[in-house]
Amino acid sequence: MSKRIPTFKNEDVEREFWDTHDSTEYIDWGKADRVIFSNLKPSVKKISLRLPESMLEGLKLLANKRDVPYQSLLKIFLAERIEKELGAH
């Protein structure tokens, strides 16, 4: 018999719980169905970022040329650089 999974007030509390508990005590993984979450969006966190005006204007100009929002282009640039930096180590 599996233990009952508690109700969590938010994802942070749930993450802390699963960091310290074994899921096999709560779930019979042998009976689980395999699923694919193709449209799952990653969790995002809003931040505040101060940039020189000239850098922001340059970013907006590049984004306009590519017909994408400048915030999206900034995320692309950051993702590419992070991948490059982590791949180099």
**Per-domain residue ranges of the chain:** 53-88
pLDDT along the chain (89 residues), means of 10: 88 95 92 86 90 97 97 96 88
Cα–Cα distance for residue pair 75/5, rounded to 1 Å: 36
At 18 the pLDDT is: 95
At 49 the pLDDT is: 94
27: nearest Cα among 1, 53, 48: 1
At 14 the pLDDT is: 96
At 35 the pLDDT is: 87
17: nearest Cα among 34, 30, 35, 4: 4
